[in-house]
Each structure stands twice: as C-alpha cells, then as structure tokens.
Amino acid sequence: MLNIAVLVSGSGSNLQSIIDRINSGSINGVIKLVISNKKEAYGLKRAESSGIKSFYTEDESEIINTLKNEEIDLIVLAGFLKVLSKKFVNEFSGKIINIHPSLIPSFCGKGYYGKKVHEKVLEYGVKFTGATVHFVDENADTGPIILQEVVPVLGDDTVESLSKRVLQVEHKLLPKVVEMYCKGKIKTFGRKVVISE
C-alpha cells in the first residue's frame, strides 16, 4: 500500500477523482495528506469530508518536512499552481506527478496554468487539445510524459466549455496513472516512460 500526498490550489476535483477511485478499491494506496498553498481552496474541504489530514501552507520547507515525516511514496500535483523548487524536486525525484490541461509540449510552461491554457488554445485556433500526466522535473511542465489524451476543440467552444470537456478527461487520466504507479507498472528510461501490462 503506497502513501500518497495530493497538493492542490483550487477546487480539487482532480483530488476527488483519486479519492473516488481509492474508494472503489482499484488503487493500492492511501491518501495520507492533502496540502494546499491557498487558504480558501475547496480541495481542503473535500479532504476534510473524506477524513483525510489536510492543511494550508505556503512554506515549501514545511511541505518537504511533512512529506518526509509521513513517508510519502507518491506526490500528486492536482491543480497545484506553483512551480516547485529544484530542492523539492531533487528530494522526491521520480515520485512527483502533475496533471496539465493541454497536450504537452503545446500550451505549457511558464504562464500557462488553469484557464489561461484554454484561452491560449482558443486564441491559437488549434483543432485538438487534451490532458497530460507527467513526472515533475525542475522546470515547468517539462518532465517525462506518462499518459495523454486528445480532446477536440469545437467551433463554438468558450474557455468554460473547453475547460469542462478537458477536465472530464483529466478525471479519467489522473486516477488511472495513480493506479498504475501504485501497481509498479510505470518505468522511466530517460524521457521515455513505459507502462507494463
């Protein structure tokens, strides 16, 4: 059974998708901790409702120490809108995953977060976008890609309609990756991630 920590900044619907998958019995892991860098994040309430220990802090050293003390095996960034320091990433190398609401390497990196991603997608006029789950390295959205799924952009899409459609895919992809990680099915060879059956 792996110990999981989920870091959030907002609504926490991706956190909820992992909680639901754990409750259905398909993830060989337990969420020991939810941490938010935003006091008002609804994700903290979701954690509380599910009886998961949670707290708010903006202090990265406090986060690192807590993750170590709780012997966390997997750190999931689920709508966590802060780039982690080199120190943080090195400390938990290969154990941090992130969900990003586009097909990396498009519409990602510095300045591309939350609704801004979808705004840029619509502005550019691409016909397809999607969601990506990737390992976290020391730069924004550049770590090895684990899983991606394509979402079509429709002619009458708004930021709201598109983000909603992408979010539905995020809710499938993220728990799926957590499940595979907990089963030891994900192997990394440089940038290449191989998922075994």
Site string for ligand GRF, 18-57 (x = CB under 6 A): -------------------------x--------------
Cβ–Cβ < 8 Å for 18, 28: no
Residue 74 CB contacts under 8 Å (≥ 6 apart), including other chains:
2, 3, 4, 5, 29, 95, 97, 178, 181, 182
Report if residue 11 touches ligand GRF, rule: CB under 6 A. yes
The residue within the footprint of ligand GRF, chosen from 167, 177, 182, 193 (CB under 6 A), is 167
Cβ–Cβ < 8 Å for 34, 15: yes
> Which range touches ligand GRF (CB under 6 A), out of 5-13, 44-52, 58-66, 187-195?
5-13
> Which range touches ligand GRF (CB under 6 A), out of 7-15, 27-35, 142-150, 175-183?
7-15
Of 100, 118, 134, 171, which residue is the catalytic one? Answer: 100
Give catalytic status of residue 100 as yes or no.
yes
> Which range touches ligand GRF (CB under 6 A), out of 26-34, 46-54, 94-102, 145-153?
94-102
The residue within the footprint of ligand GRF, chosen from 99, 108, 173, 178 (CB under 6 A), is 99
- Alpha-carbon span 134 to 146, nearest angstrom: 5
Q: Output Rg (C-alpha) for the chain, integer angstroms.
A: 16
> Which range touches ligand GRF (CB under 6 A), out of 55-63, 85-93, 99-107, 120-128?
99-107
Cβ–Cβ < 8 Å for 28, 1: yes
Report if residue 136 touches ligand GRF, rule: CB under 6 A. no
Report if residue 78 touches ligand GRF, rule: CB under 6 A. yes
State the minimum distance, in angstroms, from the CB of residue 178 to ligand GRF: 13
Query: Which residues are marked as active site?
Result: 100
Please report, as ranges, the residues that interact with ligand GRF according to CB under 6 A.
8, 10-14, 43, 78-79, 99-101, 113-114, 167, 170
